[in-house]
């Protein structure tokens, strides 16, 4: 009986997530000259950790079980759905959040400018929605390649 610590597909996917999230920090620094360690635990950005995880999982399953296996078929289809969702639905939800944030900002500004309305307290003001939810297609693509590379590197180390 094997333990969870010997589950190559599981560890390939988890390590791919950590690597993808870790890469976001120096990439953000290069672009903005500002360190943001919170990116390690945030969604969105380059590369997609969701894509990295599912491609690492599918690659590891293909190595272990073969590309003709049911396990590979399941992981590949789930991976395609996750990647499509990351670049589609979640990205559009982020775009909607940006529009809603702008509307809330303008509405709050309007209320503050009108003397006849009661000024809202800080607790009553609407919180901004998280805008970086999904990914640009290139972020999904790069995350996918990263997952494949992580899985192949791990396999070569444990082989």
Mean per-residue pLDDT over the chain, rounded: 83
For position 66, what pLDDT does the model report? 96
Least confident among 7-11, 30-34, 108-112, 141-145? 108-112
Are 80 and 111 members of one domain? Answer: no
* Helix pair angle (137-158, 49-65), 10° resolution: 40
The number of beta carbons lying within 10 Å of the beta carbon of residue 67 is 11
**How many domains does the structure of the chain reveal?**
2
Distance CA 60, CA 52 (A): 12
Confidence of residue 38 (pLDDT cuts 50, 70, 90): confident
Question: What is the span of the domain harbouring residue 104?
Answer: 92-133
For position 121, what pLDDT does the model report? 52
Are 24 and 59 members of one domain? Answer: yes
Average pLDDT rounded to a whole number, residues 15-40 = 91
For position 159, what pLDDT does the model report? 79
- Which tokens in the block code for residue 31? 């672009």
- The CA-based angle 15-17-19, given to 5 degrees, is 70
Tell me the pTM.
Answer: 0.72
**For residue range 106-159, what is the model confidence (pLDDT) as tens digits?**
777 776 776 455 555 554 556 665 555 567 788 888 999 999 999 999 999 987
Are 49 and 127 members of one domain? Answer: no
Are 20 and 46 members of one domain? Answer: yes
**Whether the predicted pLDDT of 98 surpasses 80:** no
Are 108 and 43 members of one domain? Answer: no
Chain centroid offset of residue 56 CA: 14
Are 79 and 116 members of one domain? Answer: no
Q: What is the DSSP string of 36-69?
A: -GGGGG-SSSSSPHHHHHHHHHHHHHHHHH-TTS
Are 109 and 128 members of one domain? Answer: yes
Quick check: 66 and 10 in contact, CB under 8 A? no
Are 32 and 68 members of one domain? Answer: yes
CA atoms within 13 A on the CB side of 155: 17
């Amino acid at each position: 009986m094997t333990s969870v610590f010997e589950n190559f597909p599981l560890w390939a996917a988890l390590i791919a997530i950590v690597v993808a999230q870790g890469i976001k920090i120096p990439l953000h620094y290069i672009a903005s000259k500002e360190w943001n360690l919170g990116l390690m635990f945030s969604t969105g950005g380059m590369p997609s950790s969701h894509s990295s995880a599912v491609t690492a999982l599918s690659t590891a399953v293909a190595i272990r079980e073969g590309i003709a296996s049911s396990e590979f078929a399941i992981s590949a289809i789930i991976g395609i759905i996750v990647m499509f969702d990351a670049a589609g639905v979640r990205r559009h939800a982020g775009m909607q959040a940006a529009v809603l944030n702008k509307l809330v900002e303008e509405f709050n500004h309007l209320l503050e400018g009108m003397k006849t309305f009661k000024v809202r307290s800080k607790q009553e003001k609407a919180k901004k929605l998280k805008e970086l939810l999904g990914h640009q297609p290139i972020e999904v693509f790069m995350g996918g390649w990263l997952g494949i590379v992580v899985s192949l590197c791990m396999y070569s180390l444990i082989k």
